[in-house]
Amino acid sequence: MSDILVHTEAGVMTLTFNRLDKKNSITRAMYAELADALVKAEQDGAVRAVLIQGDATIFSAGNDIGDFLDAPPSTPDSPVFRFLHGIATFPKPIVAAVCGPAVGIGTTMLFHCDLVYAGDNAAFSMPFVNLGLCPEAASSLLVPQMLGYHRAAEALLLGEPFMAEAALEVGLVNRVVPPTEANAIAQAQARKLAAKPLTALIETKRLMKKSQQSAVLERMGEEGQSFGRMLREPAAREAFTAFMEKRRPDFSKI
Ligand code: COA
C-alpha cells in the first residue's frame, strides 16, 4: 500500500500519511505523491477541498532523515519544494487534522492550511536549528507573525515543542478535540466547505492571502537556498548521522 493514501469523496480529496512504522516521516517519493495530488486536486472540478491527516497517534515526524543524508533536495523542482510551492499556492481550501507529533514540515505545512483541527495529544515542533538547519516553508516569516517574535524564537531557535492548547491560543489551530475524533471532525468541516460555492471559496481565499503571497514565495525561495546548502554542511550531517545511530549529536567541534 502507498505511503500516501488518496481518497476523494463528497468533494473532499483526503490525503493520509500512511507510513506509521516510520512515524509518517516523509520521503521524496511521498512529497512527489503529495505534490501530484495537489495538482490533480486543483484541476479536478470534482475536488472542492483537500484534507491532510495522519492517525490518532502521529501526524508526521517531518522529513525522512535517511533521505536528508542520502539524497538532499538540491533544485527548486525537488519533490519537497514542489510540494511546498503547491500547498502555498493551492487555490481551494485545505483542512488538516493533527494528532501526536508534528515535526518540522509536519508543523510548517499547517501555516498553509486554512483550517486545522488538533487532537489534545498534538505536539508541534520545528527543531531545524537542532539539526543544523534553518526554517523552511516560509516559516521564518509566518511563525513570528502568528506567535509573536519571542514565542517564535523559542519555537525556532530553541526548537522547543508546543502543545495543542498553546497552538489554539496563538491561532495555529481552530479547535482541540479528542484524538480519535480529529479526522472525522476535520472531514466534516471539509465537507461543509465542499458544499459551498467553489468560486466564492477560491476568490475569498485569494483575497485573504493576497497581501502576503509574493512575500511568502520570496521567503520560501531564500530559505530553500540556505536549507539546501546547510543540509550538506557538517552540523546537519552530524545531526542526521546521530539520529540514524540513535545517539546524541556532538556539535562540540562544529
Ligand atoms: N526520518 C526517518 N525515520 C524516522 C523519522 C524521520 N524523521 N522519525 C522517526 N523515524 C523512525 C525511527 O528511526 C524509528 O525507526 P526504527 O523503528 O527502524 O528504529 C521509527 O521511526 C520510530 O521512531 P521512534 O523515534 O522510535 O518513535 P518515538 O515515538 O519514540 O518518537 C518522534 C517519535 C517523532 C518524536 C521521533 O521519532 C523523532 O523525533 N523523529 C525525528 C523528527 C525529526 O527530527 N524530523 C526532521 C525534522 S526537519
Give the model's pLDDT for residue 1. Answer: 85
**What's the chain's length in residues?**
254
61 is written with which cell numbers?
515526524
Question: Atom of ligand 1 at shortest distance to CA of 61?
Answer: 34
Question: Atom of ligand 1 at shortest distance to CA of 22?
Answer: 21
121 is written with which cell numbers?
495529544
Q: Which of 229, 248, 65 is nearest to 134 (CA)?
A: 229
Q: Which of 3, 17, 19, 23 to mutate to test the pocket of ligand 1 (most atoms within 8 A of CB)?
A: 23
DSSP label of 47:
-
What is the pTM (predicted TM-score) of this model?
Answer: 0.98
Tell the burial category of 230 from Cβ atoms under 10 Å away from its Cβ (0-12, 13-18, 19+): middle
Question: Atom of ligand 1 at shortest distance to CA of 65?
Answer: 1
Q: Is the CB of 126 inside a 6 Å radius of any atom of ligand 1?
A: no
The Cα 36–Cα 56 span in angstroms is 25
- Collect all residues with Cβ–Cβ distance below 8 Å to 110 and sequence separation of at least 6: 96, 98, 102, 116, 124, 172, 173
The Cα 202–Cα 196 span in angstroms is 11
CB neighbours (10 Å) of residue 59? 32
Give the model's pLDDT for residue 133. Answer: 98
Domains of the chain: 4-178 (3.90.226.10)
Return per-residue pLDDT of the chain as tens, 254 residues.
899 999 999 999 999 999 999 999 999 999 999 999 999 999 999 999 999 999 999 999 999 999 999 999 988 899 999 999 999 999 999 999 999 999 999 999 999 999 999 999 999 999 999 999 999 999 999 999 999 999 999 999 999 999 999 999 999 999 999 999 999 999 999 999 999 999 999 999 999 999 999 999 999 999 999 999 999 999 999 999 999 999 999 999 88
Name the β-bridge partners of 95: 51, 115
128 is written with which cell numbers?
531545524
Q: Which of 20, 21, 25 to mutate to test the pocket of ligand 1 (most atoms within 8 A of CB)?
A: 25
Q: How many angstroms from the chain centroid is the CA of residue 12? A: 19
Q: Is the CB of 155 inside a 6 Å radius of any atom of ligand 1?
A: no
Give the model's pLDDT for residue 76. Answer: 87
Residue nearest to atom 10 of ligand 1 (CA): 22
Name the β-bridge partners of 50: 13, 94
Residue nearest to atom 15 of ligand 1 (CA): 22
